[in-house]
Each structure stands twice: as structure tokens, then as C-alpha cells.
A and B are shown apart, each in its own frame.
Chain A
Amino acid sequence: MDVEAAKLIGAGLAAIGAGMAAIGVGNVFGSFLESALRNPGAADGQQGRLFIGFAAAELLGLLAFVVSMILIFVA
């Protein structure tokens, strides 16, 4: 296989990670909303933790983006 083609295929495969991060981020907000509706009084106090979870889940998706960018533009 051509090296250029292999790079593009690799970059495309890395983009799957972005979809996986979407599942993760959706899970974070979904679970938060689910429990926030059960106990709205406690919800506001947990917003910091919500965003920490969001940041952690999102970072992994962003890493996938970095991998594909490196494959296309740097490697």
C-alpha cells in the first residue's frame, strides 16, 4: 500500500476516537441529568465534578483528533 494512503486510512481510523468521546461526553451529561432530576437540591453542588468528568472524557476524544492531525500533516 502507498504510504500516503496508509496515512489517510490511519487518520480516518483515528477519527473513530472522536465518536467514542461523544459516547463518553453524552454519558457524563446524561447520568448527571438523570440523577439531577431525582435530587435537584444536590445538583448545583456537583457542577464542578460534572465538568471535571466532561473534561476527562473530552480530552481522550481530542487526543484522537491530535493523532489524525499528526498523521495527515506531520508524519
Chain B
Amino acid sequence: MAAEAKVDPMYQFTIKPIAELNIAGYDVSFTNSAMWMLITTVVLTLFVAGGLKRQMVPGRWQMMVETFTGFIDDMLEANIGKAGRKYVPYVFSLFMFILFANILGLLPLGIVGVHPFTFTSHFTVTGILAVLSFSIVLIVGFWRHGLHFFSLFVPHGTPLPMIPVIAPIEFISFMVRPFSLGLRLFVAMMAGHVLLEVLSSFVIDGTNAGAGFGLLVGLPSFLLMIGICALELLVAGIQAYVFALLTSLYINDAENLH
């Protein structure tokens, strides 16, 4: 039996400082997480800038960008109504940032020696994005409706005796939103990457154990990995979509109450 290659599925999530930086005792180093955020921002900017041609007959690139903006525009229109137009810049940036981050983190750049880091697999990042969405909901809600915003916790037509029961439940479900929003994205990304790593350890260990094991364990695991990679691309898109969709639903609560 060959020596077991120790594949640590959690190692890929380690944050490593690239340029050490300390300000007033706080560690604000430029890390691999920050670097991939920067790369995502640059790629996203290039992608959108390439589509800002305003041609009457759009080329392929402009068509691609306009499909995405149109998609977000339609989603906000369907969920919020006419008032949803002014949130298009925020929800579009949010959706594209998460989508690009998820997909860039899946790229097989390891073959050329660059290891992509999926920063959406960290709760600090997704939590901040969720808190951003949640604070927009709070600010818009209190701005537009004042203290009347609290009527969100009492749905229309609730019988009077039921209010003391319903209101706390609605309040808890409201306060849990930023948590569930951030948790969903972070866990979905992390689970997928751990799964791929575990399957890759099957391939490596199986093939190291001999040709028979390689054929019996390594090859099926490898084929499964290809399938899971395709599934992960789907999950990357769905999670970005779900994040944007839930954000627009929450904004709808703030904009229109219920």
C-alpha cells in the first residue's frame, strides 16, 4: 500500500497574507481573499465596460451585458414594480459580483500554478453583502414609511387576538434574513468546493494504491468530479440569482410594505 496522500479539504479556504500591513495594531494585510476580490472587480469592470457601446444594433459583447442588465431589470420590475427601477444598479452589481466571484473561484487555474480563491466561501464576505442588503431595506423602509414600517410585522387581516403571537414570529423571521442570506451563499460555495476536494483525494489515493484501485475507484471518482464541476457551475449561477432575488423581495417589503 502506497503512502496515503493527505488531502486536507479545508486547506483551500486558508487566508494567506500577500503583503503584510499593520495599521495601529490592526492586521489589514492584503490577502489572497482581497486579491481575488480585486481580480473579480477588474474582470467585472472590463466585462461591463466592453458592453457600454450604445450601438443601435448591439454586437455580441453588448448583447451579453444587456441580457444581464435586462434580466435584473425584469426581476426588479416583477417583484417591486415601477419603483424597482432605482435599485437596478445595486442589485446588478451584487448579482454580477457574486456570479463572477463564484465562477472565477471554480476556474481550473491550478494547472498553471495559480490557485483561485473563492472568497464567497467565507462568511465574513457574504455576511457583509447580506448586511448591506439588509441595511438598504431598513433605511428605505424607515425613510419611506417612518414608524409605520413596523406594520410589516402584522400582516393584513390578522385577527386582533392573534397579533401578540404573529408579531414576534414575523419579527424573528425578519431579523433572521441577513443571517440566512449570507449563510446560504457561503455554505453552498464551501460545500461544493469541499466535495470536489474530497473526490480529488479519492482519485489521488486510489491511483496511488495501484492500477486496479485506480480503475475501480479513481476513474469513477474522476468522472463524477466532471459532473459535479458542471453542477457547481449551475450552483454558482443559482446562488447568485437567489441572493439577488431575495434582496429584491426584501426591498419590496420595504418599498411597498404588505
Contact = CB atoms under 8 A, between A and B. Distances in A.
Contacts of B246: 52, 55
Contacts, number: 34
Contacts of B187: 62-63, 65-66
Contacts of A65: 187, 191
B233 interface: no
B139 interface: no
Cβ-closest 7 pairs across A and B: A62-B187, A55-B242, A59-B184, A65-B191, A59-B180, A65-B187, A51-B245
A58 B188 contact: yes
B249 A52 contact: yes
Interface in A11-61: 48, 51-52, 54-55, 58-59
Contacts of B238: 51, 54
Number of chain B interface residues as a range: 10 to 19
B75 interface: yes
Contacts of B188: 58, 62
Interface of B: 10, 75, 78-79, 180, 183-184, 187-188, 191, 238, 241-242, 245-246, 249
19 contacts: A48-B79, A51-B238, A51-B241, A51-B245, A52-B245, A54-B238, A54-B242, A55-B184, A55-B245, A58-B188, A59-B184, A62-B183, A62-B184, A62-B188, A63-B187, A65-B187, A66-B183, A66-B187, A73-B10
Contacts of A59: 180, 183-184
A73 B10 CA distance: 10
